[in-house]
Amino acid sequence: MSVTSDRVVLVLGGAGTVGSGIVKALLDKGFQVAVISRDESRLEKLKQFLPPSAGSRLHTLVGDVGSEDGAEAAKGDLLKRTGKVTDVVSSLGFSWWQGGPPHTQSLQELHRVLDTLLLSTFTAWKAFFPLVKDNPNGSYTFITGGAGERLLMPGTGFLTLGAAGALAFALMVRQEYPEVPCKLNEVSAGREGGRLGAVSRQSGGAQGTFPVAAGREASPEKRGAVRGAGRRGRSLLGNLRFRRQVQASFQLRKSPSEPQAPHGRVLRGAQGAGC
């Protein structure tokens, strides 16, 4: 059995724009991939987007990871299907929000944005992190957006709040759990020079450049090269590119003996990345 086919990567948000690209990339590389969506029809669309050859290596489930109970239930269903999860990519949220300046918004809308971007990231992590954290070959990767670092344009304030929460959560986890054997990664997709890009902060500590992501529903204006970081062979996210179809290439550490830099180092990468 190959190294990749023995690995089961759960892509949270795998039916979404970014997530579907990641799913395709992982399947192309031979991994088993699991996707949980609240909507069966989105899973069907995902299957149509993927090549038929993905078939038996793709595990899809209907579930809602946006509550602790929902995430636990989804975990139970998933483990019945796959028996294990070796890696998690968390790409929960939504593509865009531009509802207007804060004084025009309601508390209910702020709850909705935070639920989608931040709280689901937490409830999912709480359920699934225990499955991978003690695995020296495992990884947990958070997909974030540059909106978490600044206001991208007028009217996107709530997006900034939600994205900032998700970004802070990813960085906080790395600092709270500096010694966990699994790798903790954070990849921020965003715009730079008019093109969509990504910045990666990885527990491996290395930095480099490679293309990143592309999803099922990526619109033309969202396509572009993506900048990332990481040493080949040491990061989960090795190669993503925003195109109509993802041309991503994921690198997973292949053996426990592979050297690993100290956890907890935060890499600050490209400026100007947007959501």
Ligand X SMILES: NC(=O)c1ccc[n+]([C@@H]2O[C@H](COP(=O)([O-])OP(=O)(O)OC[C@H]3O[C@@H](n4cnc5c(N)ncnc54)[C@H](OP(=O)(O)O)[C@@H]3O)[C@@H](O)[C@H]2O)c1
Q: Give the Cα separation of 155 and 137 in Å (integer).
A: 42
Q: Give the Cα separation of 273 and 275 in Å (integer).
A: 7
Amino acid at the residue 79: L
CB of 249 to ligand X, least distance (A): 19
CB neighbours (10 Å) of residue 79? 14
Q: Between 39 and 69, name the residue whose CB sits nearer to ligand X.
A: 39
CB of 63 to ligand X, least distance (A): 7
Q: Give the Cα separation of 63 and 72 in Å (integer).
A: 10
**Residue with nearest beta carbon to ligand X:** 16
Q: Between 19 and 211, name the residue whose CB sits nearer to ligand X.
A: 19
CB of 202 to ligand X, least distance (A): 17
CB of 15 to ligand X, least distance (A): 4
Q: Give the Cα separation of 46 and 121 in Å (integer).
A: 21
Q: Between 18 and 237, name the residue whose CB sits nearer to ligand X.
A: 18
Cβ atoms 139, 204 nearer than 8 A: no
Cβ atoms 29, 20 nearer than 8 A: no
Q: Which positions touch ligand X (CB under 6 A)?
A: 13, 15-19, 36-39, 42, 64-66, 91-95, 116-117, 120, 143-145, 163, 166, 189-190, 215, 222, 275
CB of 1 to ligand X, least distance (A): 30
Q: Between 95 and 251, name the residue whose CB sits nearer to ligand X.
A: 95
